[in-house]
Amino acid sequence: MPPAEMRRPGAGALQEAVKLHRAGQLEAAAALYAQALAADAKNPDALHLSGVLAHQQGRHAEAIAAITRAIEAAPSVPEFYQARGVAYRAAGDVPAAEADFARAAGLNPKYLEAWVNLGIARLQRGDPQAALQAFQQAAQLAPNVAEVQGYLGTAQIRANAIDAAVAALKRAVALDPHLTEAHYNLGIAYDRRGEAKAAEAAWRRSIEANPFYLKPWNNLGVLLHKQGRAAEARAFFERALSQAGPEAKDTAELWNNLANILDEQGLVESALQAYQRAVTLRPDDARFHLGFGGALLTIGKLDEAFVHITRARELDPALAVAADCGLMGLLYVSEDAKAPLAAATAWANGLVLPPAVGHANSRDPDRRLRVGYVSPDFFHHPVANFIAPVLAAHDRSTVEVFCYAEVKAPDAVTERLRRLVESADHWRDTTGMSDESLASAIRADGIDILIDLAGHTVGGRLLTFARKPAPVQATWLGYPATTGLPQIDWRITDPLADPPGLTDDQYSERLLRLPTGFNCYQPIDDMPAVAPLPADAKGYVTFGCFNHAAKIREKTLDVWAELLTAVPDARLCLKHRGFSLPSTVAEYRHGFERRGVPAARVDLISFIDDPRRHLAAYDRVDIALDPFPYNGTTTTCEALWMGVPVIALAGDTHMSRVGVSLLTRVGLPELVADTPARYVEIAARLAADRERLRELRGALRARIAGSSVCDAALVTRELETALRQAWREWCRAHKN
């Protein structure tokens, strides 16, 4: 304390208060500060220090008031502004804190702490460029202080100056190898540069420095998951959660990411519990509600799923994946054929898009076309089974192929597709690219026709299509309804799935019908052999359905119960991942019992991850039942390939007519019903004809293999003809 201050009233009490304050005896110090102020109410040092103490005790409003009085008494002391800024920040008033830190730095340009706090406040306010200026000033004052270099690197990451951030953060951890957050942020910078190994090493060092700092655990787990190292990622999330303890409040991200892995691994019950923990810990995070809703959707818990999906859309209307999930979910529950169009159109009308960009593509109607396919499903996924034969069969003299792969976890299928395409054409990895960046890349590639293969499914890039990067755009295969986007010109289908005049008004797109069929199936390698007819060994017929749980509605169960009543010695075998949950098994058993079918006549099989074992499960099924109104596609092809005939019910939408298309194309139109009663009649009659079942069992694989369903050359030539038609139409409409 300056000598002059020692002569002020209460100086002795103030001096003793400072000693107690420094010793951590806050209550005693507070009493002496009060005594000093009672003697001299305008003593700036007593006001300042009493305010600092109040802040330390969590009384931020009192702290601000006291330090404000100190500033009024001595307006040129930078330390007072610094102290009030800290109190303002603790009270949640970041703009006021920023102003005080700026004032402190202005009064003393060499005040390191003020510059650092000014940078932090600017980061909190979301202005990384301004924060960067403050941290650069701090770094000039203290170039060898690790924390300053760490803050500088953090601001550079936020400002997207990644190379500079790497340099600053490397300097920070060199100065102090135990600086946990600097290692963590260095990992972020490396990850942004695409240097996964370096990012992993940095996050591991951050964990070593402080195992209880959860952020690097989470980031490292996400990185491992993206690299296909799901078991390691799961172990990391579980270890982090174990260390944090059950009462930790900052573990929501960890629980959500763990849930994603558990869900992928088919551990449904554990996944749902983890999603529930994430939502409970952070109920206002749209992403967590969305993950929970999506998981519930996959096991057929439609009502519960929509509660969370709807909540996600309420919390974050701009979250595109939530809108996609809601639109996809609508297909499972809507009774109105036009409801998906209304909902998708409303979504599209609400988009805020940059100004449209014209197309410089040559208008030559007969030249070689650049065709781009955009998909998140270029991996072990049903869509890959349908697009792979087309990619292989394209006539490269008329079509140059570009694949835009939004694949977050590449696998052997991804590699096979990449090699196939790169041998003659172009493969683009789009993960991490913004919609605008991807649209720019597509324009730069000069794509003439851009084809979406996902629609409103997970990972789709419809917001890229909304920017109209190609002159002609179409949607195909991955989604059985309209996208709602006016920027997508065509939907590729066939006359059986979308008969002219029946479904045209259900789409925002025009329908481009391939004469023979809208898809081409390629079975997996090393398919299991067709097993003998199960009924011959068991003495009774087994009906079966291995479709997605959400496709099985109450009305579907009603009809299946009627069928089991009509064939009293038959059994029903259902398989989907929800049956790993005892509660779901109990619901289904009770549902059939309410319909007069004993639970013992219904076999419920859970998720089978291995593709060959999944297909081998058809060795227990004699006749497959297509769900309605949302038919199977891959499941129907798989059943036919495994020698199992499929009974379908024709509806008035594409998704309820896929069975019509597939069964007609393999020469079995007699297995398609036009009413539920007829569906039961056809299935019951076939169940009674054991000889016909044996014949089909032995002939179906050859029948489907020899049909247009597996004729890649035919389907691809028809596709190319249709695309040429669409291109010529665009050229006529856009003549130079």
700-724 tens-digit pLDDT: 999 999 999 999 999 999 999 999 9
Whether 53 maps to a domain, the answer reads no
In a shared domain, residues 407 and 491: yes
Provide the domain count of the chain.
2
Token pair, residue 47, equals: 């006001």
In a shared domain, residues 438 and 572: no
Question: Please, what is the average pLDDT of the chain?
Answer: 94
Question: Does the pLDDT at position 249 exceed 90?
Answer: no
Q: Read off the pLDDT band of 736 (50, 70, 90).
A: low
Q: pLDDT above 90 covers what percent of the chain?
A: 87
pLDDT of residue 376: 96
In a shared domain, residues 379 and 501: yes
pLDDT of residue 10: 62
Q: Which of 8-12, 192-196, 291-295, 638-642 has the lowest mean pLDDT?
A: 8-12
In a shared domain, residues 468 and 592: no
In a shared domain, residues 508 and 383: yes
Pairing of strands 510-513, 490-493: parallel
Question: Does the pLDDT at position 564 exceed 50?
Answer: yes
User: What's the whole-number mean pLDDT along residues 560-589?
Assistant: 95
Cα(241)–Cα(228) distance, integer angstroms: 21
Whether 284 maps to a domain, the answer reads no
Over residues 457-496, the pLDDT tens digits come to 999 999 999 999 999 999 999 999 999 999 999 999 999 9
DSSP-based three-state secondary structure for 648: strand
CATH number of the domain residue 580 falls in: 3.40.50.2000
Question: Does the pLDDT at position 6 exceed 80?
Answer: no
In a shared domain, residues 657 and 567: yes
Q: Read off the pLDDT band of 8 (50, 70, 90).
A: low
Over residues 278-311, the pLDDT tens digits come to 999 999 999 999 999 999 998 889 999 999 999 9
* Confidence (pTM): 0.83
Whether 327 maps to a domain, the answer reads no
Question: Does the pLDDT at position 653 exceed 80?
Answer: yes
CA 103 to chain centre: 44
Q: Read off the pLDDT band of 3 (50, 70, 90).
A: very low
The CB-based long-range contact list for 423-427 (8 Å cut-off, 24+ gap) reads: 424/396, 425/396, 425/400, 425/401, 426/400, 426/401, 426/402, 427/402, 427/403
pLDDT of residue 110: 97
Question: Does the pLDDT at position 590 exceed 90?
Answer: yes
End-to-end Cα spacing for the chain: 84
Distances (CA, A) of 602 to 336, 561, 564, 575, 591: 31, 10, 10, 11, 11
Question: Does the pLDDT at position 325 exceed 60?
Answer: yes
pLDDT of residue 126: 93
pLDDT of residue 246: 74
Whether 351 maps to a domain, the answer reads no
Host domain of residue 392: 369-513
- State the Cα torsion 629-632-637-639 to the nearest 10°: -90
In a shared domain, residues 635 and 683: yes
pLDDT of residue 423: 85
* Nearest Cα residue to 357 out of 442, 434, 276: 442
Whether 87 maps to a domain, the answer reads no
In a shared domain, residues 587 and 473: no
CATH number of the domain residue 505 falls in: 3.40.50.11380
Q: Read off the pLDDT band of 259 (50, 70, 90).
A: very high
Whether 506 maps to a domain, the answer reads yes
pLDDT of residue 409: 80
In a shared domain, residues 499 and 539: no
Cα(197)–Cα(195) distance, integer angstroms: 6
Over residues 172-215, the pLDDT tens digits come to 999 999 999 999 999 999 999 989 999 999 999 999 999 999 99
Whether 387 maps to a domain, the answer reads yes
**Which residues make Cβ contacts (< 8 Å) with residue 78, sequence separation at least 6?**
103, 104, 105, 107, 108, 111, 114
DSSP-based three-state secondary structure for 379: coil
User: What's the whole-number mean pLDDT along residues 618-634?
Assistant: 97
Q: Are 403 and 417 in contact, with CB atoms under 8 Å apart? A: yes
pLDDT of residue 513: 98
In a shared domain, residues 385 and 448: yes
Q: Read off the pLDDT band of 9 (50, 70, 90).
A: low
Q: Judging by beta carbons within 10 Å of its beta carbon (0-12, 13-18, 19+), is residue 381 exposed, middle or buried?
A: buried
In a shared domain, residues 540 and 466: no
* Phi-psi domain of 477 (left: phi exceeds 0; alpha: psi -120 through 50; beta: other): left
Over residues 419-468, the pLDDT tens digits come to 999 888 999 999 889 999 999 999 999 999 999 999 999 999 999 999 99
Q: Read off the pLDDT band of 226 (50, 70, 90).
A: confident
Quick one: DSSP state of residue 427? E
In a shared domain, residues 389 and 498: yes
Q: Read off the pLDDT band of 247 (50, 70, 90).
A: confident
How many residues are listed for the chain in this entry?
Answer: 736
pLDDT of residue 13: 84
